[in-house]
């Protein structure tokens, strides 16, 4: 038996409802995590509430902004939003032998006006994951809003220093992964031109001028359980593609 997990920044769960239902029907994941749902629990489309999944929503205080959601067929031991912020960015589900964390990291913005905020969030998040790892391994998924290495972006030279590709953000990602954690995609895919986000303009997606900013990151203790990871790049409905990881049960 295997456990299938998907993560997707939907850029609005209501606008993406049809695509989400199609994805759930075709892939039948055991667990699916969403970022940037832009909705409160009362606004989640009814069509998603009748598919046999338990649903956990962490909405932002500001309506129509940010927010995360997990749908799962596997009942967690516990659920928490203990990483406190008012933008609904982090959810934690506890299972028998690992924690599952869904996260939507801040965007540092084109003018880098939120870079300091993002780096503080990143560092606080790393400490939080460290505290969880002291108890059991952790699988983190979500939109990290950073392309880690040159290979993770179509045009690195043009974008160096831009939001999502600043030295500060990339150095933090190196530090986070260097703490004994695995970028699961790179276990199975070493090559270039694999992206998870494309700008809406200039037909960037059709031309594959993109960024890989969505990740499944696992504690190294989980390596023996990870059997596959990849990008569902053909799935539309958002400016991001869904990503997946498969675990041995």
Candidate list 53, 98, 104, 244, residue with the active-site label: 104
Q: Which residues are annotated as a binding site?
A: 9, 36, 143, 145, 239-240
Q: Which residues of the chain have pLDDT under 50?
A: none
- Provide the residue range defining the domain that includes 185: 2-248
Active site residue 143: yes
pTM: 0.97
150 catalytic residue (yes or no): no
pLDDT value, residue 249: 87
* Sheet arrangement for strand 54-58: 54-58, 68-72, 31-35, 2-9, 243-248, 226-231
pLDDT tens-digit readout, 8-19: 999 999 999 999
CATH of the domain at 104: 3.60.10.10
Q: Which candidate in 30, 56, 98, 143 is catalytic?
A: 143
Query: Is 79 one of the catalytic residues?
Result: no
How confident is the model at residue 37, as a pLDDT?
98
Look at residue 70 in the predicted model and tell me its pLDDT: 98
**Known binding residues for Mg(2+):** 9, 36, 143, 145, 239-240
- Domains: count for the chain: 1
Q: For every residue of the chain, which 3-state class applies, written as one string?
A: CEEEEEEEECCCCCCCHHHHHHHHHHHCCCEEEEECCCCCHHHCCHHHCCCCCEEEEECCCCCCCCCEEEEECCCCCEEECCCCCCCCCEEEEECCCCEEEEEECCCCCCCCCCHHHHHHHHHHHHHHHHHHHCCCCEEEEEECCCCCCHHHECCHHHHCCCCCCCHHHHHHHHHHHHCCEEEHHHHHCCCCCCCCEECCHHHCCCCCCEECCEEEEEEHHHHHHEEEEEECCCCCCCCECCEEEEEEC
So what's the pLDDT on residue 179? 82
Nearest to residue 24, comparing CAs of 249, 237, 194, 240?
237
Q: List, for residues 182-228, the tens digit of each pLDDT value.
A: 999 999 999 999 999 999 989 999 999 999 999 999 999 999 999 99
């Amino acid at each position: 038996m295997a456990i299938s997990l998907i993560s997707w920044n939907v850029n609005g769960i209501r606008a993406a409802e049809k695509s989400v239902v199609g994805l759930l029907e075709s892939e039948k994941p055991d667990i699916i995590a969403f970022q940037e749902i832009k909705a409160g629990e009362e606004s989640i489309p009814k069509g998603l509430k009748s598919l046999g999944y338990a649903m956990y929503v962490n909405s932002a205080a500001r309506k129509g902004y940010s927010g995360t959601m997990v749908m799962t067929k596997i009942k967690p031991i516990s659920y928490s939003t203990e990483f406190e912020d008012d933008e609904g960015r982090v959810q934690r589900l506890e299972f028998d032998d690992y924690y599952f964390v869904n996260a939507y990291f801040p965007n540092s913005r084109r003018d880098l006006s939120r870079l300091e905020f993002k780096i503080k969030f990143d560092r606080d998040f790393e400490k939080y994951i460290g505290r969880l790892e002291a108890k059991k391994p952790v699988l983190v998924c979500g939109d990290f809003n950073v392309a880690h290495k040159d290979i993770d972006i179509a045009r690195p030279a043009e974008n160096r220093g831009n939001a999502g590709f600043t030295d500060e953000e990339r150095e933090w990602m190196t530090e986070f992964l260097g703490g004994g954690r695995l970028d699961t995609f790179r276990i199975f895919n070493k090559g270039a031109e694999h992206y998870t986000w494309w700008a809406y303009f200039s037909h960037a997606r059709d031309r594959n001028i993109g960024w890989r900013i969505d990740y499944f990151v696992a504690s190294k203790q989980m390596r023996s359980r990870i059997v596959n990871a990849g990008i569902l790049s053909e799935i539309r409905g958002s400016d991001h593609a869904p990503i997946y990881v498969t675990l041995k049960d």
